[in-house]
Amino acid sequence: MRVVVQRAASASVTIDGRVHGAIGPGLLVFVGIESADTSADGAWLAQKLTRLRLFPDSAGQMNLSVAEIGGGILLISQFTLHASTQKGNRPSFNQAARPELARPLYEEFAAQLAAALGRPVATGVFGASMQVALVNDGPVTLCLDSRRRE
């Protein structure tokens, strides 16, 4: 699994003109699932994401996790994170998992994140056309890959 994580002052996802999920301070997480991914990838990422020290402490140092600040997580599926642009100008998505594999892993990952965070996470809808709004805080943006453990 590959994620792009952004520290947010607020974030929301709108589907068909209605807000489906929203958070205040916390993390906006885009996740791409590839064919070789398993629930172990989600478990590792859930622990990593909820423990990453990305939020400032009283001295202004990034020493607090999303769990420690009581922040939210908005999780959005995004197969395009596994795009390859090696050949030509049209991205290839061959590495991205097919929906029948990716959807259950996405749903399990949302549950793993909620368990690690200790409260529900907001989500988009797998496969839907979504509009994501973000007030990026910092900005702070990281990319993590469960295969590389980074």
Q: What residues are labeled active site? A: 78-80
Helix (H) or strand (E) holding 117: helix 99-117
Q: What is the mean pLDDT of the chain?
A: 95
Instruction: Tell me, yes or no, whether 134 lies in a domain.
Output: yes
* pLDDT tens per residue, range 58-96: 999 999 999 999 999 999 999 989 888 888 888 888 888
Domains in the chain, number: 1
- Examine the pLDDT at 7 and tell me if it is beyond 80: yes
Residue 150 in domain = no
Query: Do the beta carbons of residue 50 and residue 75 sit within 8 Å?
Result: no
What CATH number is associated with residue 118?
Answer: 3.50.80.10
Residue 11 resides in a domain: yes
Q: Domain of 45?
A: 2-145
Q: Which of 61, 81, 71, 60 is nearest to 27 (CA)?
A: 71
pLDDT of residue 84: 84
The model's pTM is 0.94
